[in-house]
Amino acid sequence: MSGFQSSSLALFSTFPPPSFWPQKLPGETLKQTYNVTPQVSAPASIQALTAQIAPSGSGELEPTAFSLSGSTLSLTLEGGQPSRVYTILFSATLSDGEVIQWTILQPVAQILAGDKPQAPMSWEFGTPITCVLPTSLNFSQLRNSAFIL
């Protein structure tokens, strides 16, 4: 076709390069933390936050607790197959309506020489875990003024 030019049109925003958490042992329960400041531009704040892990299924890495305190995200992880690197996808909805996503890779250590992970039930992301964020009080409203001592 003459006169036709191809152009690349990005329909999805690209993820920043993934970060890595230190490796964990397969049977270990480990709390990992991450500073979310680089992902959130002031004056926006995080209003909703979820995490999903791939691969997923029985015997794979599982999130068991998820919180955000100030700018520090905490995610507690259990299980995982030896010698496997998991991808954790975080999705945040900001106060200005923007949705941002980033990934962190979580390697699981090899215990014995020759340990190979079992084939995963699914290479897809598992069920998201939702971070319960504390609600802020707005003391400019009369009904909240009773909280001021």
Instruction: Report the alpha-carbon distance of residue 26 to residue 106 in Å, rounded.
Output: 11
Fold entry, domain 19-132: Immunoglobulin-like (2.60.40)
Residue-level pLDDT at 148: 44
Whether the CB-CB separation of 75 and 92 falls below 8 Å is answered with no
Domain map of the chain by residue range?
19-132
Of 112, 87, 98, 95, the closest CA to residue 17 belongs to: 87
Q: Give residue-wise pLDDT tens across range 135-147.
A: 543 444 444 444 4
Q: Is the pLDDT of residue 134 over 70?
A: no
Q: Is the pLDDT of residue 19 over 60?
A: yes
Whether the CB-CB separation of 108 and 23 falls below 8 Å is answered with yes
Q: Give residue-wise pLDDT tens across range 91-128.
A: 999 988 889 999 999 999 988 777 777 788 888 888 89
Residue-level pLDDT at 17: 73
Instruction: Report the alpha-carbon distance of residue 131 to residue 73 in Å, rounded.
Output: 9
Average pLDDT over residues 30-42: 88
What's the distance, CA 19 to chain centroid? 11
Q: Is the pLDDT of residue 4 over 50?
A: no
Whether the CB-CB separation of 55 and 89 falls below 8 Å is answered with no
Q: Give residue-wise pLDDT tens across range 39-94.
A: 887 788 899 999 999 999 999 999 999 999 888 999 999 999 999 999 999 999 99
CA atoms within 13 A on the CB side of 117: 25
Residue 36 has which token pair? 């979310």
DSSP assignment of 8-71, as one string? Answer: ---SSPPPPPPEEPPPB-TT--EEEEEE-GGG--TT--EEEEEEEEESBSTTS-EEEEEEEETT
Residue-level pLDDT at 131: 87
